[in-house]
């Protein structure tokens, strides 16, 4: 299972991803391999331009598996931020930390286009898969 990060979602809906990679992600969605959590849903909703755009986005995303944020995810994200602070990287997005902690709890990964997830993997005890939407720097 992979959780969406907004960095991947926004590029997918803007058609800036090569068609072959879009097809792979659409297959994953069809297979039920892509999920969401609250921080991502809030970012996706925030990015909507109109009420209608928000409704369409919400309708698309409600079909995906939803992973709730619980106390363990909260503690894991806080612990990860502390570990990042020790390595001098505590200024990473709090949203990314929560999504990574949620992915770790689900024993899955994050589909993204954001170097933060590789830093989280390198400098924290969170264990999740970092899956780039496309090779870094190509989109």
Model confidence pLDDT, tens digit, residues 18-72: 999 999 999 999 999 999 999 999 999 999 999 999 999 999 999 999 999 999 9
Domain that holds residue 106: 2-132
Within a domain: residue 139? no
Q: Give the mean pLDDT of 104-121.
A: 97
Within a domain: residue 39? yes
- C-alpha 105/C-alpha 99 separation (Å) is 10
Within a domain: residue 111? yes
Instruction: Assign residue 44 the CATH number of its domain.
Output: 3.40.50.1010
Within a domain: residue 137? no
Within a domain: residue 74? yes
Is the separation of the CB atoms in 76 and 126 below 8 Å?
yes
pLDDT tens column, 72-97: 999 999 999 999 999 999 899 999 99
Q: Indicate the number of domains in the chain.
A: 1
Is the separation of the CB atoms in 109 and 129 below 8 Å?
yes
Within a domain: residue 85? yes
User: Phi, psi at residue 121, to the nearest 5°?
Assistant: -60, -40
pLDDT (0 to 100) of residue 15: 85
In the predicted structure, residue 137 carries a pLDDT above the cut 90:
no
pLDDT (0 to 100) of residue 11: 95
Within a domain: residue 24? yes
pLDDT (0 to 100) of residue 6: 96
């Amino acid at each position: 299972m992979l959780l969406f990060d907004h960095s991947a979602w926004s590029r997918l809906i803007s058609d800036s991803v090569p068609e072959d990679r879009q097809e792979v992600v659409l297959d994953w969605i069809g297979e039920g391999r892509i999920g969401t959590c609250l921080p991502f849903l809030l970012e996706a909703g925030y990015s909507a331009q109109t009420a209608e755009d928000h409704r369409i986005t919400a309708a698309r995303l409600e079909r995906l598996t939803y992973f709730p944020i619980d106390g363990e995810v909260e503690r894991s994200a806080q612990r990860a931020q502390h570990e990042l602070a020790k390595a001098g990287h505590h200024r990473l997005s709090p949203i990314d930390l929560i999504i990574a902690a949620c992915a770790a709890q689900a024993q899955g990964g994050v589909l993204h286009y954001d170097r933060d997830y590789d830093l989280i993997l390198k400098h924290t005890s969170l264990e999740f898969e970092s899956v780039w939407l496309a090779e870094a720097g190509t989109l």
